[in-house]
Chains A and B, each alone.
Chain A
Amino acid sequence: MNTKTIKNKRVNLSDLIQKIIIYAILVLISIVILTPIFWIVSSSFNSGTSLFSSSLIPKNPTLIHYKELFTETDFPKWYVNTLKIATINMIISVIITTLSAYSFSRFKFKGRKQGLMAMMILQMFPGFLAMTAIFILLSKLGLINSHWGLILVYAGGQIPYNTWLCKGYFDGIPRSLDEAAKIDGASNMTIFIKIILPLARPIITLVALTNFMGPWFDFIFPQIILKSADKKTLAMGLFEWVQKQQNTQFTRFAAGAILVAIPITLLFVYLQKHIVEGLSSGATKG
């Protein structure tokens, strides 16, 4: 055996060890991530109702909790409410945000810079800290315990951040395209609809998606604005199950949580490239 092959073998051996270590770490992290998820999934099939009796592998797997969700609770109603709020919020938000981002990106007018600066600062303010004012404002408008009140708050609150995000993206679309269209006699609105919107599809997808998903996660504003049981949203309802009857409603919570998490998670994993790209381009470009 000459020295060369010995060296090669040593390299192979250390490579092998390295690989084994990497695989070990990967598997370990996967376990850390998957265990809580596995636990909640198996809990939802558990025959008991409480946290005490839940075991990692259910003894008598049952679908009863899923059935109960639809027969004994307001869960289906909450699902419809959330879907409705999310959809309307998405539509309103996208329209308002893209229009104002287009104006900020393409036109010069008095107060433009101040407006941008103001939005930059306003987006730093966590909206729910002003909940007292929002509550009184909505009760003046008669929108307490109304889904429209919630939608207005969501659609209003997202404007500063998302306008910035969209404006940054619109800035990247070459102006020569607008100018060419203008020479051909296109109006501002036509340019916006026919040129900017199609080219800005990635960022609009992101804004639409985040606005659609927002109401599924938010448990703060519904608690402030909505009062009656049939108006609740999913996040609010599930949160109350855990908060109020921590131990007795546990398996029901598990089943409900899974029915909420599955569609959102799938949507997210499917669109993750879009989301991450949009977030990073928005943050680095402004």
Chain B
Amino acid sequence: MKRSKKSTIFSVLFMGLGQIFNKEIFKGIMFAIIEIVTILNFTYFIRSITGLITLGVKGQYFVDGVVKGDHSIFLMIEGLIAIAILTLVILVYIFNILDAKRVGEEIEKGVKSLGTKEFIKYVWDKYFPHIMITPAFMFTIFFIVLPIVFTVAVAFTNYSSPNHLPPRNLVDWVGFQNFKDIINLKIWNNTFLHVGLWTIIFAVVTTTCNYFVGLMLALLTNSKGIKLKKVFRTIFILPYAIPAFISLLIMRLAFSGPGPVNNMLASIGLEKIPFFTDPFMAKIMVLIICVWLGAPYFMALMSGVLTNIDMSLYEASEIDGATKWQQFSKITLPLVLFQTMPLLIMSFAYNFNNFAMIYLLTDGNPVNGSFKYAGDTDILISWIYKMTKDQNQYHMASVITIILFIFVAGISAFSFSKTKAFKEEDMM
């Protein structure tokens, strides 16, 4: 039998055996250690994955102060971690077989096998990008991918208060039941539709207003013959520069019931205005404050774009007798729109999930009785947050998260596929 075939078979039988057969002792031992550790932990993998499938058989209880029984959610996460690790091991296993085959073939051709030192240098050169990506990869797997997979998995369980809340109770897999509920149960679909609609209005209005107010600010500070341009520009950038959570809390207090704005109204004999307690008023306030906060970003952005527009375009149009408005709508606007389109879409996706804005300003209030766990100004993401943090409705929170994620990712992927970067990427 050929050497390459033999070493391949050895590596299939036991990781690293083929490498040792090829006299690559160091590499072989490394592979072998991985397999030995995996086998020693065999029961761990079996137990974790069974746990993920059953989600426990009995809720937790105390016997003489010692916890007994199962915690479904811990079982779920442990199962997912075990699967992640197992996947990595299987990838290494496949790699080990391919490697044994390749080295075997090289030896047949008469290429000398590498010593340990040369091997390390070889790996460092050949797998440089892989090694450099490893930390980012591990972080992404454990702190982003795993939590997302968990969130998706929860959407298919009944993990919620009051009857399915660990540690006392168990959680069960329920298939697509939650997705059916959100369509069929009146209280859920009513809330979802209303909150969803307001989320879209909120995102569209704030993005458009921010954009055009920003453009207006940029045009004003750029207009000819204005003095103190720098001072005005610095003032206008302030709302973007001050930490948003501070300015939002300031706004929340300023317009609150006993706050200074109402105080001032009272002192000049006017009635107090229910800024954040009347549903309609609260929505308007949210939109106004969002523009206060968001327009400066676009101003800063567009100041750059405006100064790059070729002045001769304006001079030429002036000779042809164009009015100021014509200059704006036929020259300035198209050029600015063209350059900032991707950012406009990004900004829409951002506002769609502008959690801090709602949470800090109104906390979704005023409460609406016909909604399930949501208030009038809640957007989808703040509703999800409430369901998770305050109401323990993890199952529905996960369902909405999935819907939200698909929507926003769809928009972003669409806008991204239009960019130059993506098209260039295709050619590589």
Contacts and interface: CB of A to CB of B under 8 A. Distances in A.
A, B assembled together: yes
Interface of A: 19, 22-23, 25-26, 29-30, 32-34, 36-37, 39-40, 51-52, 54-56, 96-97, 99-100, 102-104, 106-109, 113, 115-116, 119-122, 124-134, 136-137, 140, 152-153, 155-157, 159-160, 163, 168, 171, 187-189, 213, 216-217, 219-220, 235, 238-239, 242, 246-247, 250, 253, 257, 260-261, 264-265, 268-269, 272, 276-277, 279-280, 283-286
B419 A257 contact: no
Interface stretch (B60-68, B107-115, B134-142, B180-188): B134-142
Contacts of B139: 96, 152, 155-156, 159
Interface string B235-252: 111111111111101111
A133 B245 contact: no
Contacts of B259: 51
27 contacts: A25-B220, A29-B217, A33-B236, A39-B254, A54-B260, A55-B263, A100-B137, A103-B132, A125-B405, A128-B385, A129-B388, A129-B401, A132-B388, A133-B147, A133-B151, A137-B146, A140-B81, A168-B421, A242-B252, A253-B249, A264-B243, A272-B300, A279-B301, A280-B340, A280-B343, A285-B419, A286-B416
Given A39-B254, A260-B243, A286 B420 contact: yes
Query: B-side binding surface: helix, strand, loop or mixed?
Result: helix
Contact of B133 (A40, A99, A187): A99
A269 B239 CA distance: 11
B217 A103 contact: no
Interface in B226-273: 226, 232, 234-247, 249-254, 256, 258-260, 263-264
Given A22-B220, A103-B132, A257 B251 contact: no
A124 B405 contact: yes
Contact of B249 (A96, A120, A238): A238
Contact of B408 (A124, A188, A250, A284): A124
B151 A33 contact: no
A104 B428 CA distance: 12
B409 interface: yes
Interface in B78-137: 78, 81, 125, 128-130, 132-133, 135-137
A168 B128 CA distance: 20
Given A107-B128, A113-B425, A129-B151, A152 B143 contact: yes
Contacts of A247: 258
A137 B246 contact: no
A286 B422 contact: yes
B144 A159 contact: yes
A55 B154 contact: no
B246 A99 contact: no
B412 interface: yes
B94 to A, nearest CB: 12
Given A115-B133, A132-B154, A137-B147, A23 B234 contact: no
Nearest to B288: A32
Contacts of B203: none
Interface string B401-426: 10001001100110010011110010
Contact of B243 (A107, A115, A125, A216): A216
Contacts, number: 242
Nearest to A115: B133
Contacts of A102: 132
A33 B226 contact: no
A122 B413 CA distance: 11
A160 B137 CA distance: 10
A272 to B, nearest CB: 6
Contacts of B251: 36
B144 A125 contact: yes
B145 interface: yes
B279 interface: no
Contacts of A265: 238, 241-243
A26 B128 contact: no
Contacts of B125: 187-188
B306 to A, nearest CB: 13
Interface in B281-339: 292, 297, 300-301, 304, 339
A101 to B, nearest CB: 9
A137 B77 contact: yes
A156 B408 CA distance: 21
Contact of A36 (B217, B250, B360): B250
Contacts of B195: none
Rank and list the top 6 A-B pairs by shortest CB-CB distance, nearest first. A286-B421, A156-B143, A130-B147, A103-B129, A100-B136, A133-B147
B144 A157 contact: yes
A179 to B, nearest CB: 16
A137 B241 CA distance: 34
Contacts of B146: 133, 137
B148 interface: yes
Nearest to A108: B428
Contacts of B43: none
Contacts of B151: 129-130, 132-133
Nearest to B141: A156
Contacts of A119: 140
Contacts of B304: 276-277, 280
A126 B353 contact: yes
A34 B140 contact: no
B246 A238 contact: yes
Most interface-central of A34, A269, A284 (chain B CB within 10 A): A284
Given A25-B220, A137-B77, A157 B143 contact: yes
A250 B253 contact: yes
Contacts of B413: 120-121
Contact of B409 (A55, A124, A157, A279): A124
B20 interface: no
Given A34-B238, A121-B409, A286-B425, 20 more contacts: A26-B226, A36-B247, A36-B251, A99-B132, A100-B137, A104-B133, A106-B129, A115-B133, A121-B413, A122-B144, A125-B148, A130-B148, A131-B388, A132-B388, A137-B142, A235-B245, A242-B253, A247-B258, A272-B241, A279-B301
B374 to A, nearest CB: 16
Contact of B349 (A29, A124, A157, A216): A124
A127 B133 contact: no
Nearest to A241: B249
